[in-house]
Chain A
Amino acid sequence: MAEVLVYVDHVDGAVRRPTLELLTLARRIGEPVAVALGSNAEKTASTLAGHGALRVLTHEASEYADYLVVPKVDALQAAVEAVSPAAVLIPSSAEGKEIAARLALRIGSGIITDAVDVEAGDEGPVATQSVFAASFTTTSRVSKGTPVITVKPNSAAVEAAPAVGAVEALNVSFSDQTTGTKVTSRTPRESTGRPELTEAAIVVSGGRGVNGVENFAIIEALADSLGAAVGASRAAVDAGWYPHTNQVGQTGKSVSPQLYIASGISGAIQHRAGMQTSKTIVAINKDAEAPIFELADYGVVGDLFDVVPALTEEVKTRKG
């Protein structure tokens, strides 16, 4: 059976969830071979083995942290040459897409970004994408070279699938371009204790109607009662009420949780683009004509300052 390369997104050896979802998809196409790079890469092996990785190729070097994107492209290119895989799967983060693009160009392949599903096909893997603010669904195939596909978070279930997970050292020689862009400093994002926005099963978002930075506390309180991540519309972020890293929409994060609760968000196309594929959508808005209600499985026309705290209390009561 052909091998499928999976690029491992990890922080100091802790594998991030989208990589485990990729292993689920990789097993549909072939035998997963993981590539883990940088500090504590070997520590990822046991988790990866538990989710189906037959082999884990690792390489530790300071270049991965000190220079942008290109060192990782060099390593993946080396892995492609060593393994001759049937496909390369990479998490669809901003960095993941840049790595994928440069890799595809170097190995003469096509690239598909932001897939929401990947299936085996007669002529190679078939990727499903959601386009035009999720108003269309397309299926595509890479028709030249080894398919390079980036996959969005929440596109597949994480499945336990014990495999060997043999750790092997990957030989990497860095290219002339490797040291072009220096990372002069890095500040890790402070943990809020809440789930990661793109990975959360439930997202509670606030928009223009929240009307002030101090009022986001009621959005956060609802999120915490549900164990949810907090999102914000572009209007709320532009007003400075919530950080850009929490922005949901075209120029922010694209989320696809089981439940999305939009409070005080009208539902402009730019916002819908980032949340339209959520399984269940709930909307709270004063304006009965707000377009968000067209998407909502359940909507409440009312003042969010009444409805949201009441909902939070009710959730707490029911959860005991």
Chain B
Amino acid sequence: MKYVPDATGDRHFADDLTVDRDDVDGLLSELDEYAVEQALQISENTGDDVEITALTIGPENAKDALRKALSMGADKAVHVEDDDLHGTDAIGTSLVLAKAIEKAGYDLVVSGMASTDGTMGVVPALVAERLGVPQVTLLSEVSVEDGTVKGRRDGDTATEYLEAQLPAIVSVTDQSGEARYPSFKGIMAAKKKPVISWDLSDLDIDAKEIGLEQAHTSVESAAQRPARATGTVVKDEGEGGKQLAEFLASQKFI
């Protein structure tokens, strides 16, 4: 899961051209709520002893994202925090996640389709590559039965049904089913659930492997896009369609 700046608030870059995560309101990436929901449903449908661990990497306030997952019904949480993580790119993030997932132990990793800030959507594929387990990603439906994960992936040109053996990593889209709201009981219970903190040394990661200095890409400039020029707005008094056609014709669209 990822703790991200609120998309409806003011998002900007810090002086070193990383996403400013200190000076903004944050929350659990909305798209990761779908992952928590599907993990809960898989657990409920499987019936036997399933334990759900919520995992995030990020600064202190990223714990808020874990609390949300715990109040929805996850059993425990792991928070990876280290000052040396600042500026880590997707490749580095996947290393930290893979190490943390291995340390925590897993049969299935469920993630969202992308974060609402970076929006790359590549981390699940990268983690699968690192862990050497099947990638079953961008699913709008997912189920687990007898050690097999199945899902439906709606691509650009076709809908595909996928199947893989556990252990595996899946990612789910916002079409997979509305995430539940935490109940009052859930919120109270979450306060008693364990949140484990790991730093890089706990994961046997050398600080030289990650962080802004070690990123595989460098951002050279970031500029606010100029506001669009104010356009013409007319009120429809019965001629709105005609006026619009006039505009389209003047722009050579018709």
Contact = CB atoms under 8 A, between A and B. Distances in A.
Given A11-B157, A301-B236, 16 more contacts: A69-B137, A73-B129, A100-B122, A101-B129, A105-B129, A132-B117, A136-B224, A187-B158, A188-B157, A280-B251, A282-B244, A299-B232, A300-B233, A307-B240, A310-B241, A311-B240
B120 A138 contact: no
**Interface majority SS on B: helix, strand, loop or mixed?**
mixed
Interface residues of A, number: 93
Contacts of B238: 306
B236 A306 contact: yes
Contact of A110 (B89, B225, B249): B89
A30 B135 CA distance: 33
A112 B217 contact: yes
B56 interface: no
Contacts of A15: none
A101 B126 contact: yes
A293 interface: yes
6 contacts: A139-B221, A186-B160, A269-B7, A302-B240, A303-B236, A307-B240
B116 interface: yes
Nearest to A183: B160
Interface of A: 11, 68-70, 73, 93-95, 97-98, 100-102, 104-106, 109-114, 126, 130-145, 176-177, 180-189, 196, 198, 202, 226, 244-245, 250-251, 258-259, 269-270, 273, 276, 280-282, 284, 288, 293-303, 306-315, 318-319
Nearest to A296: B231
A15 to B, nearest CB: 13
Contacts of A293: 231, 233
B199 interface: no
A314 B135 contact: no
Nearest to B118: A131
Interface in B211-234: 215-225, 228-229, 231-234
A105 B122 CA distance: 11
| Range class of the B interface residue count | 35 or more
A251 B31 contact: yes
Contact of A311 (B128, B156, B216, B245): B245
B236 A302 contact: yes
Contacts, number: 255
B244 A69 contact: no
A111 B217 contact: yes
A13 B245 CA distance: 39
User: Which residue, A68, A114, A303, has most C-beta atoms of chain B within 10 A?
Assistant: A68
A281 B17 CA distance: 30
B207 to A, nearest CB: 17
A184 B125 contact: no
Contacts of A145: 216
B224 A135 contact: yes
A140 to B, nearest CB: 5
A251 to B, nearest CB: 5
Nearest to B126: A101
B147 to A, nearest CB: 14
B39 interface: no
A104 B154 CA distance: 24
B86 interface: no
A11 B155 CA distance: 13
B209 interface: no
Given A136-B224, A244-B175, A307-B244, A182 B232 contact: no
A298 B244 CA distance: 8
B182 interface: no
A131 to B, nearest CB: 8
B91 interface: yes
B244 A141 contact: no
B253 A259 contact: yes
B235 A302 contact: yes
Interface in B120-169: 120-122, 125-126, 128-130, 132-138, 140, 150, 153-165, 168
Contact of A183 (B8, B122, B161): B161
A175 B158 CA distance: 25
Given A68-B135, A105-B91, A300 B218 contact: no
A306 B240 CA distance: 8
Contacts of B7: 133, 250, 269-270, 273
